[in-house]
Every structure is written in structure tokens, then in C-alpha cells.
Structure 1
Amino acid sequence: MKFEIVRDELLDALNDVMKAISSKVAIPILTGIKIEVNENGMSMTGSDSDITIRTFIPVERDGKELIKISEQGSIVLQARVFSEIIRKLPTNEVKINVTDGLLTLIHSGKSEFKLIGSNPDEYPILPEVKDEHSFSLPADLMKSIIRETVFAVSQQETRPILTGVHWTVEEGKLSCVATDSHRLARKLASPENMPTIPFSFVIPGKSLQELNKILPDSDSPVKIIIAEQQVLFKTDHVLFYSRLLEGNYPDTSRLIPTESKTSVTVNGRALLQSIDRASLLAKEDRNNIVRFSTEDKMIEISSNSPEIGKVEELVEAIQITGEELKISFSAKYMMDALRAIDGQDIEIQFTGAMRPFILKSADDDSILQLILPVRTY
């Protein structure tokens, strides 16, 4: 295998592939990246068994030559070492030449590295994903779905199914739900050309977080192909495979209240900043509790820690209807929910001091956050 490549292009593709590389893998060869060169261009594959990422660099793009191929072939190189070498090469021209079986020469400017590669035939083959169910979403919608849901997945492996986001396609609509039993995040969307046959699947939260780093900030389409145990996300030059979580996701629809006794409309950013300040004096334990009470069109945010001190702050509400209320909740959960709704005017609907309450944008019904209160009053 022998070729020349533009370093910047190689580095961009390498940065994507490295997101699938882990030092904690059962198969030693998976600490490496598989490089393949043919007449069409160069592909690189990285995997940790749960996630597999494959990038492709064409021979030319928009009339500009990116790769000059002298000899086709393939090799597996140690991912961390190869990545650091490419990152620190002195020029934008890189020559890679595999000689004597597995010895790989990397040449740039006056620098030359010699790496000992591994047999590419020992690298696991890509998962086979048959087109059982597929649809496309714009990349920017995908990123907002991930941002507005994935933070609410469970971090505990005691119920593995809750470490993922539940995607459901029904009647041409997409619903994405995450919950850790203490809070819930839901995003609804109605993209074009959705399948008419209903189906659902659960994608690990960690996979979605890595996918989010790769997706472009544009409306370019991402094709999503679902098979029995795998999902494949396809963009122009990246294939992102993830395993799916097995098991039945709990029915979360019954958790969402359909009526409320108290409704508060408030500027989301102002409320977020107030709760952030109050959390400074909240106890540094798991709950990090802040109190919230409604009186005379004002919201009182307070927190009390006997060892540290007390804080009280008033936030002006846009509107408060229904019964007066005092309720306590985790500051962290509330701030995560407010950040997901992202500074818009929000509506908070309460059904009682010890009942789950929901937050949603005052202008957009597609985002819903639910939080369970904490008993302190």
C-alpha cells in the first residue's frame, strides 16, 4: 500500500474515527485503526465493539485532488500513536507506504516514522445492517434531539435499558424519550417521509453523545437504518454504527400529567440563573435541593444549608395561575431541563407538592421535561 494524502483531510477523518477507540477492549486489535486504500479513495475504521465509525476520503473533491494512490492495500495501525503522529507532522503533505508486510513508513517534510502494523485480515468485519427500517433526518434536528434528551438517561447499569434513549416511530411521527426514573426528557418531531409501519428501538446514550460530536451543524440529511441489534447513521463520508439496547423500555406516557393545579410562565434564562445561584448554597449531596414557591406573581427561589448559609431570591413571573405552591427539587435536574429548553419563555405545570411536574417551551410543544420533586416541606 502506497499513497500521498493531504494532512488536514486525514486529520479531520481521523478525529471522527478516534471517537470509537477505547483502551478498554476485549479484542487487542481494536486499539488500532484499519486503513484501506482503493481506486476510489481511503477509508478508516475504528471500533470498541459497541460503536463502530468508518470515514471515507475520496480521491478528489470539488476538483481538488486529496489522495494520490500508487498502490492499493490495507493495514491496521495503533490508533493513539498514529493519531498523534499525524497531528504533529511538519507539513500538509503526508506519504504513507507499507513495506515488508506490516512495516509502515509515514513521511512528511523531513520527518519519517516507522510503525509496525497489524494484519488487517484479523480486524472484525463491519456489522451487517440490512435495510429493515430506514428514514432520514436533517443533521441539525438530530443534534437538537440528542441535546434535548440524552442528558436524562440513567448513569446506573442496574437497569441497562434506561441508559439509552427510546426512539418510537408511529403514524409518521418520531418520539424520543430518556428517563433515569427521577426525571424524563421527551422530544417530538414530524419529519418528512417517515415510515408508515410503527417500530421502536433504544440507542445507548453514550453512542448518541459520540454521534453528536461528528454530525455537521447543517441541515444535510442523515440516513438512519435500523436492524435487529444495530443502528447505522450515514452521512456523506461517515458511517456510524451502534449496537441497540435489548429489552422493553418502560411505558413513560402514563408518567406525564394531563392536568395541572398551578401553572407558571417565566423567562427560562432568568430562572436558570437564579437556580444556579441558589445551588451554590445547596448541600453538595445527590439531591442538591432548591425550594420554589409562588406568591403574588413572584417566584421565590431559596436554598438552605445549616453548615454554609441560606439564599433567597425573587424571580418575576410572566404569569401564574392556579393554587399557590411550595415545592422542592434537585437543582441539577432543573438546570439540565432549563438548558435543554434553551432560554426561551417556559411554562411549568404543577399538580401538587409531591407530584411530578413538567416544563415546556411556551412557544414549542415538541420539547417536554418532567422532574420528580423531593420531600422537604
Structure 2
Amino acid sequence: MKITCSREPLTAAFSLAASIAPARSPKEILQNVKVTASGGKLTLTATDMEVGIRLEVEEGVEVETEGTALLPVSRTMAILRESTDETLTLETDESGIQLSGSRSRFRLPGSNPDEFPPVVSFDEDKYHVISTRLFRSMVRRTVFATDTENSRFALGGVLLEMTDGTVTAVGTDGRRLAKMEGEAESVGGHETSGTNTIVPTRAIQLMERAVDENDETVDVAARSSDLLLRTKSAVIYSRLVEGRYPNWRQVLPQREDAVRLELTVGPVFAALRQAAIVTDQDSRGIDFTFGDGTMKLEASTKDIGQSQIELPIAYDGETITLTMDHRYFADFCKVLDREMPFEMEIESSSSPALMTTQDGYAYVIMPMARDR
């Protein structure tokens, strides 16, 4: 194999593939990215046996001799990052791999590419077409709420529910829940059934990263034990989390007599950050008191101090106070534009708070019990 390619697009693609290859593995061959030169383009594949990726690079690629090679992740990534050459030549022979630029030359050992496990292609005839903007928004607005500690395995990912015309993503760790819904096109009658399509947190983050913002849509196909995502230049495969997701619809409050407040992200987030200055790891609760035309945020931590921040709101009803973990509220604010309006629904000190936006986002925070 002998190819010449522009360094920047190759580095971007290799970096994404390398993020899937495991840093340590009993199977050392997985610590490589497989590169195939054929048909005037490069195909990069990587896998850790749970997640796999296929990436195509055509920009700036000239294939002189077709072939396949395994590039060790750590050394190759270092070469690509440190190189100042605009173009690089990659050539293989019986003794290994040579990467060279105008004033640099590196030789790396080569492994047998035939021993590298295959990474599936997207050959499905049933799938959902989702706008790129919606998909990226769905991931960003739900993935932070998943259970990263894996104390409950089924919560260690984002649930995707796809029906005719809609797609819903849900993330929860049992203390808060994030849900994003939007329109999507079902091709071939594709839909998910039950609550089993749970994409691992790391995998769906990689999918979001792989999506080019210049692409209008992505294709998503759910199968019995895995999920495939296709963009114009990439296919990502992931095994699904085993188990059944909890009934998230029961968590979303359905209340007729709740108080509904119209707020804006920026001012609320600013007040929250100020109130949180006197909190610490063991004292994360902030009291939210609504009444007399204000939302009052109060925190108190022994040996640190107290804070009280007031924000004018359009509410003069009965006073309601509930305590919430400021980190959970901050996570909600961080994934939204500062100018975005949202509705906050509250009922009592013991019932959850529900925040919703007009573009299909809902976020629930369970109240805290706090000793005074």
C-alpha cells in the first residue's frame, strides 16, 4: 500500500477512530486502527468489541497502491499531531509501515491486518432519518443525566424510542430525568419496541462527536442487541445496554394544579451560580422559595457561609419552598441557550420540579431533604 494524503483531514479522522480503540486490552491488536486504501479513498476502522467505527476519508487522498495496514494508535496519533507537514505519505512493506513528510520519516512495526476483527457496515433497509441538529441536541440534553457510576446498569445509557414520525431520547440516574423529543422519518416501517434500546453513554457521545454539523441528516437503525448510526462519511456500531429501562413516563409529573412559572435560562443560571458559591461536596442543596413576586435562592454551609439571591418573577401566590441539588439545575441550564425561555412547574416542597421548553425538552429534578 502506498498513499499520499493531506495531514489535517487524516488527523481528524484518525483521532475519532483512535478514541474508540482501547488504551489497554488483552487483545493487543485492538490498539490499532485499520486503514484500507481502495477506490481512491481511505477507510479507517476501529473497535473495542463493544463499539466500532468505519470512517471514510476522500479529501486530499491519492492512492498510488491499494492495500491495508494496521496503524498503532498511540505512536501514529503522536506523529500526526506533532507533524508540521501539509501532506504525508504512508507506505507499507514486509518490514512495517513508513510515514514520511517533506522533512520527517518514521518507521513503525506492522501487524497482520487480516487478524483485525471486522466492523459492520450499514446495510439496513429499516431505519430512522433524523436531522443532525436534532440528534446532536438530543444527545447533549440527555447524556449528562445518565448513571455514570453504573450502580444500576440499565441506567448507564440513553434510551432511544423511535416510532412512526417521532424519536425520543431519555437519560436518568434516578435523581433527575432528561427527555428530548422531535420529529423523524421512519424508513421501511422502522421502530423500536419496549424499553430495550439503551445506547451506552460513551457510545452515544462518540456518535454525537462523529456527526458532521454540515450533514443535514443521520440514519439510525436499532436491532435486537445493537444500534447503527450512519453519516455521509462514518458508520458507528454499538452494543446495547442489557436490561429494561424504567417507565420514564411515570416520572414526568402530570399535575393540573401545579404552579407554572415563565423564566429565562440566563438570569436563573446567574442567580444559581451566585447561590452555589457557599456550597460544597457535602452540602449541595439550595432552597428555592417562590412567592411575593420573587424567586429566592438560599444556601448555608457550616464553616463556609451563607448566600441569598433574589430574582424577580411573575408569581404572587402561596409561598412554595423546595430544595434542589444545584448541580442538577446547573446541568439543565448548561445545555440551553442563555436567551431561551422555559417553563418551571412546581407544586410543593416534596414533589419534583419540572422544566420544559417549547422545542420538546423536559427535565425533572427530585427534591432533596436538607437538615437545618
* TM-score range relative to shorter protein: over 0.9
2:280 is aligned, of 258, 280, 283, to 283
User: Could you tell me which amino acid in structure 2 is paired with residue 45 of structure 1?
Assistant: T
Do 2:160 and 2:198's aligned partners in 1 also have CA atoms closer than 8 Å? yes
Q: Report the Cα offset of residue 217 of structure 1.
A: 2.1
1:51 Cα offset (Å):
1.8
Deviation (angstroms), 1:328: 0.4
Instruction: Give yes or no for contact 1:262–1:324 (8 Å, CA) kept in 2.
Output: no
Which position in structure 1 is the counterpart of 2:151? 158
Match of 2:4 in 1: 4
Matching of residues 144-293 of structure 1 within 5 Å: 144-193=137-186, 196=189, 198-200=191-193, 201-259=197-255, 260-285=257-282, 288-293=284-289
2:347 to 351, 357, 370: 351
| Contact 1:140/1:218 (<8 A) preserved | no
Mapping for residues 38-187 of structure 1, pairs under 5 Å: 38-58=38-58, 66-100=60-94, 102-127=95-120, 131=124, 133-187=126-180
AA in 1 matched with 2:356: K
Report the CA distance between 1:220 and its aligned residue.
1.7
Distance apart, 1:135 and its partner CA: 1.2
Q: CA deviation at 1:233?
A: 1.1
Q: Is the 8 A contact 1:172 1:194 kept in 2?
A: no
- TM-score (structure 1 length as normaliser): 0.91
Preserved contact between residue 178 and residue 184 of structure 1 (Cα < 8 Å): yes
CA distance, structure 2, for counterparts of residue 212 and residue 193 of structure 1: 20
Q: Distance in 2 between matches of 1:228 and 1:26?
A: 27
1:5 is displaced (CA, Å) by 1.6
Q: Which residue of 2 aligns with 1:311?
A: 307
**Corresponding residue of 1:18:** 18
Question: Partners in 2 of 1:335 and 1:91 — Cα distance?
Answer: 43
Q: C-alpha displacement at 1:313, in angstroms? A: 0.9
Q: Amino acid of the residue matched to residue 16 of structure 1?
A: L
SS in 1 for 2:315: strand
CA distance in 2, matches of 1:128, 1:228: 16
Native 8 Å contact 1:150 1:165 kept in 2: yes
- Post-superposition CA distance 1:94-140 (Å, at most 9, x none): 1111112x511111112111110111011111136662741111211
Task: State, as a whole percentage, how many aligned pairs show the same letter.
Answer: 21
Residue matched to 2:332:
337
Q: For the residues of structure 1 that align with 2:188 and 2:50, how far apart are their CA atoms?
A: 26
Instruction: Tell me, yes or no, if the aligned pair for 2:163 and 2:192 is still in contact at 8 Å.
Output: yes
Amino acid at match of 2:259: T
Give secondary structure in 2 for the equivalent of 1:245: coil
Q: Could you tell me how far 1:336 is from its partner in structure 2?
A: 0.7
Whether contact under 8 Å (2:46, 2:119) holds in the other structure is no
Q: Distance in 2 between matches of 1:117 and 1:53?
A: 21
Give the aligned partner of residue 360 of structure 2: 366
Measured after TM superposition, the shift of residue 376 of structure 1 is 2.3
Distance 1:195 1:327, change over 3 A: farther
Aligned mates of 1:279, 1:227 — CA distance in 2: 44
Q: Please tell me the root mean square deviation across aligned C-alpha atoms, in Å.
A: 1.9
In structure 2, distance between residues paired with 1:230 and 1:150: 18
For structure 2, the residue ranges without an aligned partner over 5 or more in a row are: none
Q: Residue 94 of structure 1 contacts residue 106 of structure 1 at CA under 8 Å; is this kept in 2? A: yes
**TM-aligned CA distance change 1:185 to 1:168, over 3 Å:** same
Q: How many Å apart are 1:164 and its aligned residue?
A: 0.8
Q: TM-score, normalised by structure 2?
A: 0.93
> Which has the higher mean CA deviation after the structures are superposed, 181-190 or 38-47?
38-47
Any idea what the Cα deviations from partners look like across 1:252-298, whole Å, max 9, x if unmatched?
1111111143222222211111111111101322x611110012110
